[in-house]
């Protein structure tokens, strides 16, 4: 697959202004619904309509393995990635349960799992390769592999649009990917490396110290600063997939609900490539992973929820979907103050 940086449309400022007027005129005190009103206006500006929609949501869950796990950056072996994707395909993972609760569809995208996955209606198989290389010793991906993963993300969005999606949520599965996200934040935040590294999926003190040493070696190996090169050197196939998806969704005027630390790292790359993509993003939650707040600050992003989550899988983004849907329904269905006064 080939990939090129898409041209993004501007927000529809006329629709935003008209929707703001409509929301301000609802049967409530001015601004009484707080950020819900801002979300409704943002949806309208993205979609170019004064009756925004957020009913049909799809979770695009990208999966890939990481060569950095060879050096013990995760408390779990990389075989867990494939096992968890199989669990997701069976409908028995956390993201499946939460998606059912809010009426969202889950699509798993195999961008680079180091295992064979069975064909499944929920699975988009576009495996670029079986995991990245060890970024502490060499570039995680070749330029062709990185482009292939970006294209994989764009193709997942095209399929979602064709199926009628009105919102996409980004999620991931990849043992070791907090290590890659830390390196991306370090270079593209930018931020001191020590501030970018957390315990991930359950390191003890010794494991955290090992992770810090490995990531310091990776950062020392290469001084890349340009966004695509940083992604190639330190990223993951699933992270590159989410980067491509965020850019493609923005190009298609599709709102993007971002999950936690890993998904936000992918959006950080997208924003450094195309700053305008940030206008199309809503950030579902603030993760318990210590560097996520720093990443959100670097993006100037305000998360919708703070529930102490640190799972990934798109779970925080899924939990935020009802808020987005509520904003759209409010904009469409709440009576205007003029109607109320006319009935008095």
Tokens linked to 171: 């999620």
| CA-CA-CA-CA torsion sign (9, 168, 39, 275) | negative
The β-bridge relationship of strands 281-283 and 256-258 is: parallel
Give alpha helix (H) positions in 222-260: 227-234, 237-251
* Residues 99/313, Cβ–Cβ less than 8 Å: no
User: Tokens 């180091």 — which residue?
Assistant: 114
Q: Phi first, then psi: what are they for 11, rounded to 5°?
A: -60, 150
Alpha carbon 237 to chain centroid, angstroms: 14
Q: Give me the half-sphere count of Cα atoms (radius 13 Å) on the Cβ side of residue 91.
A: 7
The β-bridge relationship of strands 105-112 and 57-64 is: parallel
What residues have CB less than 8 Å from 238, skipping those under 6 apart?
A: 62, 63, 64, 109, 111, 112, 149, 172, 173, 174, 177, 262
**What is the residue-level pLDDT of the chain in tens, covering all 344 positions?**
689 999 999 999 999 999 999 999 999 999 999 999 999 999 999 999 999 999 999 999 999 999 999 999 988 899 999 999 999 999 999 999 999 999 999 999 999 999 999 999 999 999 999 999 999 999 999 999 999 999 999 999 999 999 999 999 999 999 999 999 999 999 999 999 999 998 776 668 888 899 999 999 999 999 999 999 999 999 999 999 999 999 999 999 999 999 999 999 999 999 999 999 999 999 999 999 989 999 999 999 999 999 999 999 999 999 999 999 999 999 999 999 999 888 75
pLDDT of residue 142: 97
Listed residue (309, 240, 246, 268) closest to 64, CA to CA: 240
Query: May I ask the CATH class of domain 57-322?
Result: alpha beta
The verdict on whether 145 is a catalytic residue reads no
194, 197, 202, 204 alpha-carbon torsion, rounded to 10°? -20
User: In the chain, how long is the greatest CA-to-CA distance?
Assistant: 74
C-alpha to C-alpha distances, 199 to 14, 88, 266, 289, 328, nearest whole angstrom: 45, 24, 19, 7, 37
Which residue is catalytic, options 145, 226, 313, 339?
Answer: 313
3-state SS assignment for residue 210 = helix
| Domain 13-52+329-343 in CATH 1.10.1610.10 | yes
Domain boundaries, the chain: 13-52+329-343, 57-322
Listed residue (160, 168, 198) closest to 181, CA to CA: 198
The full DSSP string for 138-178 is: S-SS-HHHHHHHHHHHHHHHHHHHHTT-SEEEEEEE-TTHH
pLDDT of residue 344: 57
- The Cα 62–Cα 143 span in angstroms is 19
Listed residue (292, 221, 291) closest to 258, CA to CA: 292
Tokens linked to 125: 């198989």
pLDDT of residue 200: 72
């Amino acid at each position: 697959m080939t990939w090129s940086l898409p041209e993004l449309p501007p927000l529809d400022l006329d629709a935003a202004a008209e929707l703001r007027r409509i929301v301000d005129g609802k049967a409530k005190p001015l601004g009484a619904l707080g950020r819900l009103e801002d979300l409704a206006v943002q949806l309208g500006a993205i979609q170019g309509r004064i009756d925004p929609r957020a009913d049909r949501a799809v979770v695009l869950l990208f999966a890939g393995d990481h060569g950095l796990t060879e050096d013990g950056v995760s408390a779990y072996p990389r075989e867990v990635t494939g096992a968890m994707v199989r669990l997701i395909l069976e409908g028995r993972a956390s993201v499946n349960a939460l998606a059912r609760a809010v009426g969202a569809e889950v699509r798993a995208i195999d961008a680079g799992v180091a295992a064979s996955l069975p064909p499944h209606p929920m699975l988009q198989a576009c495996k670029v390769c079986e995991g990245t290389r060890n970024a502490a010793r060499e570039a995680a991906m070749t330029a062709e592999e990185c482009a292939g993963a970006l294209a994989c993300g764009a193709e997942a969005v095209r399929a979602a649009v064709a199926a009628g999606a009105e919102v996409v949520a980004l999620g991931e599965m990849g043992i070791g990917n907090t290590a890659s996200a830390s390196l991306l934040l370090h270079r593209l935040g930018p931020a001191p490396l020590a501030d970018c590294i957390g315990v991930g999926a359950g390191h003890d003190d010794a494991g955290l110290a090992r992770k810090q040493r490995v990531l310091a070696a990776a950062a020392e190996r290469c001084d890349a600063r340009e966004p695509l090169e940083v992604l190639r050197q330190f990223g993951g196939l699933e992270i590159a997939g989410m980067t491509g998806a965020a850019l493609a969704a923005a190009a298609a005027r599709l709102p993007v609900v971002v999950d936690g630390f890993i998904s936000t790292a992918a959006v950080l790359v997208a924003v450094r490539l195309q700053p305008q993509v940030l206008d199309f993003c809503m950030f579902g939650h603030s993760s318990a992973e210590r560097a996520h707040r720093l990443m959100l600050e670097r993006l100037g992003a305000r998360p919708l929820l703070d529930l102490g989550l640190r799972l990934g899988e798109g779970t925080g983004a899924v939990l935020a979907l009802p808020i987005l849907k509520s904003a759209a329904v409010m904009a469409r269905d709440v009576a205007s103050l003029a109607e109320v006064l006319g009935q008095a």
